[in-house]
Amino acid sequence: MIDTHGYLDHFYQKEVTYWDYEGYTYWHMENIINRCVVADTYHRRVFGLRPL
């Protein structure tokens, strides 16, 4: 699902495919799948999109 339905963005200098689903963002780095609340993801924090 992540690779087929996700979108490309960056985690520092690394390009990563993210997939948002039901309030969470999923991504993988090699064989580890990660999950985070959408509002707390790296790309939202970097660009100030995190809610107050």
- Per-residue confidence of the chain (52 residues) as pLDDT tens digits? 999 999 998 888 889 999 999 999 999 988 999 999 988 887 677 666 655 4
Q: Is residue 10 part of a domain?
A: yes
Q: What is the pLDDT of residue 42?
A: 77
pLDDT at residue 5 in the model: 95
- The answer to the question of residue 25 being in a domain is yes
The pLDDT value recorded for residue 39 is 81
Q: Which domain holds residue 7?
A: 2-46
Closest listed residue to residue 41, CA positions, set 52, 31, 50: 50
| Number of domains making up the chain | 1
Q: How far is CA 40 from CA 4, 9, 31, 48, in A?
A: 23, 15, 22, 11
Residue 40 lies in a domain: yes
pLDDT for position 6: 95
Q: Examine residue 19 and state whether it is found in any structural domain, yes or no.
A: yes
Rounded Cα gap, residues 14 and 12, in angstroms: 6
In a domain, residue 52? The reply is no
**Based on C-alpha coordinates, what's the Rg of the chain?**
11
pTM, rounded to two decimals: 0.76
